[in-house]
Amino acid sequence: MSSGPGRRDREPQAWVVIREGQHRRWGGELRRRHIFARLAERTGARVVEGGWQPGLLRRAARGPVLGALPGPLLRRLPSRGSKPRFAASEKLRDRLLETALAVTDPAVVAVYDDPVAQAHALGVTGDDRWIEELAARQRRNVAAFRWLVAPTQSFAELAGLPLDRLIVGGNGTDVSRISVGPWPSRPVVGIVSGAAPGRGLELLVDAVAAARAEVPDLILRMWLVATGESSEAYLRELRAAVADRTWVEIGTAPYERLSQRLATASVLAIPHPANAYMDSALPVKLFDSLAAGRPLVVTPRRETAAIVAGLDVGAVAAGDSPADLAAAIAGLFADEGRTRAMAARARAAAEQTFDWRHVGDRIADEVLRREGWP
């Protein structure tokens, strides 16, 4: 096991960072790609991104430090026999966690989901053994690492994470990959989401239907990602349910085309339903929507609404009914000048605050401060 929080070494250790490779199909993969990228750059870490396998981690722990560190710092690095500090961009499965404990000094792990609470929130059922295994895996990871990076403090409290070891990391976007496209010629509400119940997709369909009473040519574009067999089944059911609504378009948004897809919307929606898990979450699509330079319309989920209202980059529905969301949508289309100003503020916030380089630097600053490195 790692030593407790607050340990300080006389000399800086090498670092190993494990992160997502080339998979960038949805928000979790993007976060795993970026969250410790700046930490890796600033420490000259050896980066494992070819897969989440024990053998790759063992080789990284034995191998040389990669990156351009200042000469004096390189000379101060300890011998190859010392265990490198380890940063994991995701909770580790048991064999990989056992390897991490054996060959590294586990310093920090990103805990951006609580599978048990999330399953309950999204209506995903499972047997008691499956639920307990997910909970046990989270407990083992929390016990193994000194520091825990979570999206919000409210999420950490919901997940029961020890707050004295918490680093609030937020979430981010890549403004180099998502640009601001030309404004569409007709009013469009867009959403990017995983295809699953509990995401508010049906709520959004009903809300746009109601908003069409005030904005008759309004259409809804839904770019949905199926993440498994049950998700594929849900997507088929949703397509069938809206088949007679010609103003609903359902497609996909591969990462390499996400920017172009988002640009075809004039308003981007996050219609998460009311529950404690969604109240504590900060989804990647919130920040990708900001980067696209479009105003947002959201249900009153606490953390998401705080950003949208605080930055004045969109509308927060007064409640969780289709009528509440419809009123917020229609309001955004009632004043084009105000809506365009919100869009400009959204892009500026993405560039100045929520780009992954800025988010990653803030996380790296706090990790390195707590580790006393170098």
What is the Cα–Cα distance from 166 to 178, expressed in whole angstroms? 30
**Mean pLDDT over each residue of the chain, to the nearest integer:** 90
pLDDT, tens only, 259-269: 999 999 999 99
Residue 162 has a CB neighbour count (10 Å cut-off) of 11
- The pLDDT, as a whole number, for residue 31 is 93
What is the Cα–Cα distance from 192 to 269, expressed in whole angstroms? 8
Is residue 183's pLDDT more than 90? Answer: yes
Tell me the three state secondary structure of residue 190.
strand
- The pLDDT, as a whole number, for residue 80 is 43
Contact 303, 278 (CB under 8 A): no
What is the Cα–Cα distance from 191 to 244, expressed in whole angstroms? 20
Is residue 323's pLDDT more than 90? Answer: yes
Determine what percent of the chain is predicted with pLDDT higher than 90. 78
Higher pLDDT, 225 or 361: 361
Is residue 65's pLDDT more than 90? Answer: no
- The pLDDT, as a whole number, for residue 123 is 65
Is residue 300's pLDDT more than 90? Answer: yes
25 closest CA partner among 260, 265, 256: 256
pLDDT, tens only, 242-260: 999 999 999 998 888 999 9
- For residue 297, the one-letter residue type is V
- The pLDDT, as a whole number, for residue 71 is 42
pLDDT, tens only, 124-154: 666 778 788 889 999 999 999 999 999 999 9
- The pLDDT, as a whole number, for residue 27 is 73
Can you give the length of the chain in residues? 374
Higher pLDDT, 50 or 107: 107
- The pLDDT, as a whole number, for residue 204 is 98
Domains of the chain with CATH codes: 15-172+355-371 (3.40.50.2000), 188-354 (3.40.50.2000)
Higher pLDDT, 172 or 132: 172
What is the Cα–Cα distance from 245 to 248, expressed in whole angstroms? 6
- The pLDDT, as a whole number, for residue 6 is 47
Is residue 68's pLDDT more than 60? Answer: no
What average pLDDT does range 47-52 have in this prediction?
A: 90
Is residue 212's pLDDT more than 50? Answer: yes
Report which DSSP code applies to 22.
S
The least confident of 58-72, 80-94, 244-258 is 58-72
pLDDT, tens only, 340-352: 999 999 999 999 9
Alpha helices in the chain (DSSP H): 27-34, 37-43, 54-62, 71-76, 94-103, 115-122, 128-144, 153-159, 201-211, 229-241, 258-263, 276-280, 284-291, 302-311, 322-334, 336-349, 356-371
What is the Cα–Cα distance from 57 to 46, expressed in whole angstroms? 10
